[in-house]
Amino acid sequence: MIFRPTKTNSDPHINVQTWEPSIVHALIQRPFLPPERSIIQLILDVDGVINQLPNTTNRVNETLSADLVVLRESRGTFPIHVDLEVVRALDELVQRPNVALAWLTTWGRDVDLFIEGPLRGLLSGGYVIERTHPYASDWKLRALIEHQVELGRPAYVWVDDVAIGEARLLRPDFIRGPVPAGGRLLIETNPTVGLTLDQVDEIRRFIDGKS
């Protein structure tokens, strides 16, 4: 598995021919179990959130800081378009002691490759919420709910481009139902734009309100 830049990158830490990540350091090996309710989970998807998906009618990704192709062992090549300004702003929140980063994504543990390559080590230290119902169309929502119960229902922020909207349509009981005592914030992204600085500010305000 390698990352291959599609055009010259000025970052001295990335070889413009091929770059092989160490793979073992970006993710912790098992979930961080919050010792107290003051912990806030930040739950992220990759595609459509951190990785901006191509717009087939209007290419909007020409001026991004990183433009790479990820070669994954089982799923072929993936074009990566990352706004590093947004990622750095998000990483500042992830570094807070009361924030626990978790990934809820089809990338699974391949997110380690994404962190150590295109993200250049930013957003490290999180863990992957495993699929508990891999063949269910709402597997993300099911995994989130079960994981919340496991952790004692801490406050959380969930950022996704598709699954939250699907939950609004298919699982209104989740949207209208009880929320954790510490609250929750659901952020839907435009997949061709990804998470924006304004949305990061919204996350920051939510976290600040819990501190």
* CATH number, domain with residue 38: 3.40.50
Beta strands in 22-87 (DSSP E): 40-44, 66-72, 76-82
Any domain includes 90: yes
Q: For position 66, what pLDDT does the model report? A: 40
d(CA 26, CA 123): 8
pLDDT in tens, 33-71: 544 557 899 999 999 999 998 775 444 444 334 455 554
Q: What is the pTM of this model?
A: 0.79
Write down the H helix ranges in 8-82: none
Six token digits for residue 8:
């010259």
Q: For position 170, what pLDDT does the model report? A: 87
Any domain includes 63: no
Cα–Cα distance list, 200 to 54, 56, 58, 118 (Å): 21, 26, 25, 19
- Indicate the number of domains in the chain: 1
Any domain includes 183: yes
Any domain includes 8: no
pLDDT greater at residue 90 or residue 174: 90
pLDDT in tens, 85-114: 999 999 999 999 999 999 999 988 888 888
DSSP secondary structure code for residue 109 in this structure? G
Q: For position 38, what pLDDT does the model report? A: 75
pLDDT greater at residue 14 or residue 119: 119
Q: For position 61, what pLDDT does the model report? A: 41
Provide the residue range defining the domain that includes 38.
Answer: 22-53+82-210
d(CA 27, CA 25): 6
Residues 16, 22, 23, 25, CA torsion sign: negative
Any domain includes 60: no
- The single residue listed with the structure tokens 């929750």 is 184
Q: For position 58, what pLDDT does the model report? A: 45
pLDDT greater at residue 180 or residue 43: 43
| Backbone region of residue 152 per phi and psi (left: phi > 0; alpha: psi in -120 to 50; beta: other values) | left
Q: Of the spans 27-41, 166-180, 190-204, which averages the highest pLDDT? A: 190-204
pLDDT in tens, 119-155: 889 999 999 998 888 778 899 999 999 999 888 899 9
d(CA 65, CA 10): 10
Contact 56, 151 (CB under 8 A): no
Q: For position 36, what pLDDT does the model report? A: 52
The answer, yes or no, to whether residue 5 has pLDDT greater than 60, is: no
Among 130-139, 165-174, 194-203, the least confident range:
130-139
